[in-house]
């Protein structure tokens, strides 16, 4: 009789255990979660999150357009500038990237004060960028440091003039002429930037940001606010 009671209690305990396990699986299917299925799901989600934010697994390359507004004395001699720029960046942390950027910008001279021509810039810079969110919409701030190759090219107009030569006593007339000026220079530059990136497709993002260009020439600093708009493509590595 004692053995019969023992086996009866054992069967009741096993029945209760199976019922509890089945309830855990059922509640997981209903979306509540506790039991083996819930633990497996949580582990899978955690692993997925880690895979998305592992640093050193993404490279971004972009191409964009530039519109520049001269400031200070540079605004007196030139008009709004236009150009293109290319960027590349490598993510060393989930929200931090380092990279390079280069471009070509051209500003038309004020013909009254300078003469017919243009001022062009070719920047080659190192960049560091911090993205505030690791999401489809990413506001960011960053800093560019590098070198600007500058070139100013214009036609200097020499006005005609007439005068009386005091030695010969003759009236002399010199016609006007145009003297082409072509000057080249190189300058260090620091360019802070801020903007946002929006994921339009799986690997394609739209990029909009502002840059404040501080170009340190020998005796003066050229300041330009640049508006940049472009497209970025992401490469998984």
The answer to whether position 89 is within a domain reads yes
Domain that holds residue 161: 64-236
> Is 17 contained in some domain?
no
Asked if residue 38 belongs to a domain, the reply is: no
| 125 vs 188: CA distance, rounded Å | 10
pTM above 0.75, yes or no: no
CATH of the domain at 110: 2.40.160.20
pLDDT digits 0-9 by tens, 144-186: 999 999 998 877 656 666 666 676 666 666 665 566 777 888 9
Q: What is the pLDDT of residues 124-142, one digit of tens each?
A: 999 999 999 888 899 999 9
How does residue 77 score in pLDDT terms, banded at 50, 70 and 90?
confident
- Cβ neighbors of 39 (< 8 A, separation 6 or more) are none
pLDDT of residue 72 exceeding 50: yes
For residue 231, give both structure tokens.
């497209």
**Predicted local distance difference test score (pLDDT) of residue 174:** 65
Angle at 161 between CA 159 and CA 162, to 5 degrees: 170
Q: Is residue 3 part of a domain?
A: no
Number of domains present in the structure of the chain: 1
């Amino acid at each position: 009789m004692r053995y019969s009671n023992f086996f009866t209690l054992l069967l009741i305990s096993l029945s209760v255990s199976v019922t509890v396990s089945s309830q855990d699986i059922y509640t997981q299917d209903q979306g509540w979660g506790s039991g083996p299925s819930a633990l497996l799901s949580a582990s899978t989600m955690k692993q997925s999150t880690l895979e998305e934010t592992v640093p050193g697994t993404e490279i971004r390359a972009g191409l964009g357009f530039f519109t520049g507004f001269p400031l200070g004395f540079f605004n007196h001699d030139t008009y709004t500038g236009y150009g293109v720029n290319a960027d590349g960046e490598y993510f060393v942390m989930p929200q931090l990237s380092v990279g390079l950027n280069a471009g070509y910008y051209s500003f038309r001279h004020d013909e009254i004060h300078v003469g017919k021509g243009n001022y062009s810039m070719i920047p080659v810079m190192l960049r560091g960028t911090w993205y505030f969110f690791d999401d489809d919409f990413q506001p960011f701030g960053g800093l560019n440091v590098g070198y600007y190759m500058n070139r100013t090219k214009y036609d200097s107009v020499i006005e005609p003039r007439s005068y009386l030569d005091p030695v010969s006593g003759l009236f002399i007339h010199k016609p006007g002429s145009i003297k082409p000026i072509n000057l080249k220079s190189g300058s260090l530059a620091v360019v802070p930037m801020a903007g946002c990136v929006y994921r339009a497709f799986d690997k394609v993002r739209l990029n909009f940001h502002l840059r404040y260009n501080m170009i340190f020439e020998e005796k003066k600093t050229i300041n330009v606010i640049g508006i940049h708009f472009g497209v970025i493509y992401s490469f998984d590595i």
